[in-house]
Amino acid sequence: MSALTDPIADLLTRVRNAVSVQKTEFFVPYSKIKSDIVSILKREGYIEEYELDRSEVHPRIKIRPRYVGKTSAIAGLRRISRPGLRRYVGSEDIPRVLGGLGISIISTSRGVLSGHDARKQKVGGELLAYIW
């Protein structure tokens, strides 16, 4: 098995692939940062539910995406900061995604936060992804 160089991009790709074929549930390997990102997606209404599955040797996260009819709540995902090119923003420079219709996910000193929460707490950090 090969080591992942970018586990966040792997998570976003698995989500994108699952919603493109309208999966009702899918699994991603567990890590703390992935769990934090998935909890933000749940809080913002992009996924129905998620739970940690420890029944296997390696723990994993079971995710149920939200659909409205046959359309996914997630229209698009984009990885911003990546291992080869990190992107950091201050609290004043956190971008609004699609004029406020999407969210940005930021890794801060206070944990992984949505762009709205990071702006409210006046903390900047590494801009991980855009979700819309």
Indicate the domain borders of the chain. 7-72, 77-131
| pLDDT tier for residue 56 given thresholds of 50, 70 and 90 | confident
Query: Do 77-131 and 7-72 have the same topology in CATH?
Result: no
Q: Which fold has domain 7-72?
A: Ribosomal Protein S8; Chain: A, domain 1 (3.30.1370)
Q: pTM of whole model > 0.85?
A: yes
Q: What is the pLDDT of residue 3?
A: 58
Please tell us whether the domain made up of 77-131 is placed in CATH 3.30.1490.10. Answer: yes
| pLDDT tier for residue 126 given thresholds of 50, 70 and 90 | very high
Q: What is the pLDDT of residue 101?
A: 93
Distance (Å, whole) CA 3 – CA 115: 29
Distance (Å, whole) CA 125 – CA 107: 5
**Lowest model confidence (mean pLDDT) among 1-5, 10-14, 71-75, 106-110:** 1-5
Task: Calculate mean pLDDT across residues 37-61.
Answer: 96
Nearest to 42, CA basis, from 33, 54, 55, 51: 51
Specify the residue for token string 């989500």.
15
For the stretch 66-106, pLDDT in tens is 999 999 999 999 999 999 999 999 999 999 999 889 999 99
Distance (Å, whole) CA 12 – CA 61: 13
